[in-house]
Amino acid sequence: MPKLTQGELTQLGTSFETQSPDQLLRWAYDAFGSRVAVLSAMQKAGSVVCHMVSQLQLPIPVVFVDTGVNFQETLDTRDRMASQYGLKVITLTPEQTMEDQTKELGILYLTPEGQQRCCHFRKTMPLLKARGQFDCLIGSLRRSEGGRRDRVPILSVDPEMNCVRLNVIANMPNEDLASYIDEHQVIINPLHAQGYTTIGCNRCTTPVLPEEPPRAGRWRHLGQWSQYCGINPTDRDGGTSKSIDLPRDVIDRILLGPKGDFMI
């Protein structure tokens, strides 16, 4: 199987820096067709991407990982967006309930190492059930989030899923995100209005005070040692993964870049 390298994607991603999210979403559908999906945890930025897909009337499904310990508000947001935006939402779940996992392994998320195992069991492994179904997953990581995401690439390879990751709002600043939400009245997880700047599982997510960094509410009990779940490969390796295997015709469509007025 031919390989698509991170170097090739980095070069193409540089040319995408001036493209709008709408242009990148249209390119993704043109390049990948039925083998592209949005990956959303039903947080603010992911809701914006879902709204954009709906506005463009692109038949791109949304993949959501239900860890079994999500906030009810998160599940309600998923259902509202599916209904009001006309989106097909594919919900993936872990093999074990949290109760069964705890009976077998104890409360994993009490240590940094255990937190990584717990997130792997409840987030990454469910997503891996979809490996082979998609050649591209559209995410909503943004450089304005800071931390490990301050240089997140628009395009990267995901070796575990053997697909391309496309962050269509990577270079969208916080103020532009807020303006888009206000202008379009985007459906937003109500927990954001209660001080939750980022939202994960109900066991490991707390509100954040105004003077705290945005991710201070994730695994607060573990301090500085845990801030990411690992479901996004660039959070783990900073975009240094090497390559993935895709059919030659798919690679050719990717490397040709956008069509028409956006040809590179």
The pLDDT of residue 32 is above 70: yes
CA distances (Å), origin 22, targets 111, 168, 189, 194: 41, 8, 23, 30
Given 50, 119, 136, 229, the catalytic residue: 229
Q: Name the phi and psi angles at 162, rounded to 5.
A: 50, 55
pTM greater than 0.85: yes
Residue ranges in the chain assigned as alpha helix (H):
6-16, 21-32, 44-56, 72-85, 98-105, 112-119, 125-128, 174-184, 233-237, 248-256
Give the model's pLDDT for residue 260: 44
Answer yes or no: 204 catalytic: no
Quote the DSSP letter at residue 120. Answer: I
Alpha carbon 1 to its chain centroid, in Å, reads: 26
Distance in angstroms (rounded) separating the CA atoms of residues 12 and 154:
9
Whether the per-residue pLDDT at 210 is higher than 90: the answer is no
DSSP secondary-structure letter at 162?
T
Domain definitions of the chain by residue range: 3-253
Identify the band that residue 126 occupies on the pLDDT scale cut at 50, 70 and 90.
very high
Domain 3-253 has CATH 3.40.50.620: yes
User: At a CB cut-off of 8 Å and minimum separation 6, what does 143 contact?
Assistant: 149, 150, 151, 152, 170, 171
Model pLDDT, residue 239? 57
Distance CA 44, CA 58 (A): 20
| Structure tokens belonging to residue 66 | 């239900």
Least Cα distance to 38 among 148, 184, 169, 198 occurs for 169
Assign 150 a pLDDT band (cuts: 50, 70, 90): confident
